[in-house]
Structure 1
């Protein structure tokens, strides 16, 4: 999939989230909503990092993202289409993180490495404000991680995880 198609898919998914919450937004307004710029800068940095001679440009995009949006996302972090950074301030994502489709990330989220191992995220995730996902963990599909939860163990499909350490509860 081409870079601009991925960005368009990310933006379309963000529009869908707003519409589902009863607050539809225009495409123009979407570009000025918190998080959209961070999303686009991450996608640009990741695309540049894939080309050896554009790696310095990737680092420039990453630095601009940190300065203007208050988030640090490793240029080699990989997310499929439908990534949404709702509020990017305080978001830190390690370069080794791998994520699936339709992942929504709130403010203050840390998805980090421990002893050289980083999380693998499934599809259709919501990661609440202040949540931490650390180390060699796998998060299943259709998972909601509550605000300030600390995930240090694998989470199965179709659950909500709350607490410190986070414990999965089946979605009913």
Structure 2
């Protein structure tokens, strides 16, 4: 329950950063919150050897939110799903604190290896993170980017395949 509370507080912070000072009731009713609640219920059941009940929550999330998160996927507090439609996360994914996902994000396995996400990560709509890679702290992954290699601390990853966004001295991006 503490993880869910931290998730909701983090979502409230995100709304506040965007200029919307909303109540916790509004956060609870926001798009994606039901996916967060069902994920946390599933993880609690999986951690307490209640596999059938965990599967029920996973199945409910799939049909209610079009969001598939494997029961072994483990995210620290501050995990926020902004828009759940099309999110798919492999069971072996491990995520740190304050990870925010937009719609259509896929975090998947390749050849038995799944990504490890550190802390304070934003993943834009439609982005894909595939394979046994590490995403370091404070990384932003742009919409529709396909990340297949490690992302260094503080970078913004864009494109297919995703590369670090580098700002040139003249202000132009490359």
In structure 2, the residue matched to 1:112 is 108
The alignment covers a number of residue pairs equal to 168
Query: Aligned partners of 2:11 and 2:105: how far apart in 1?
Result: 18
Give 1:62 shift.
Answer: 0.3
Of 87, 97, 105 in structure 1, the residue corresponding to residue 93 of structure 2 is 97
In structure 2, the residue matched to 1:167 is 163
RMSD: 1.2
Q: What TM-score results when the alignment is normalised by the length of structure 2?
A: 0.94
Structure 1 residue 63 corresponds to structure 2 residue 82:
no
In structure 2, the residue matched to 1:146 is 142
The answer for unaligned runs of 5 or more in structure 2 is 169-174
Specify the structure having the higher radius of gyration (Cα).
Answer: 2
Query: Aligned partners of 2:130 and 2:153: how far apart in 1?
Result: 18
Q: What TM-score results when the alignment is normalised by the length of structure 1?
A: 0.95
Query: Aligned partners of 2:108 and 2:137: how far apart in 1?
Result: 19
What are the Cα deviations for residues 139-167 of structure 1, in whole angstroms up to 9, with x where unaligned?
00000000000000001000000000000
Structure 1 residue 12 corresponds to structure 2 residue 9:
yes
Give the 4+ runs in structure 1 shifted more than 6 A.
none
Partner SS, residue 13 of structure 1:
helix
Structure 1 residue 32 corresponds to structure 2 residue 43:
no
Give 1:169 shift.
Answer: 2.6
Partner SS, residue 165 of structure 2:
strand
Query: Aligned partners of 1:171 and 1:12: how far apart in 2?
Result: 33
What are the Cα deviations for residues 49-76 of structure 1, in whole angstroms up to 9, with x where unaligned?
1122x11000000000001011000011
Structure 1 residue 128 corresponds to structure 2 residue 124:
yes
Query: Aligned partners of 2:30 and 2:43: how far apart in 1?
Result: 21
Change (3 A) 1:171 1:63: farther
Partner SS, residue 31 of structure 1:
helix
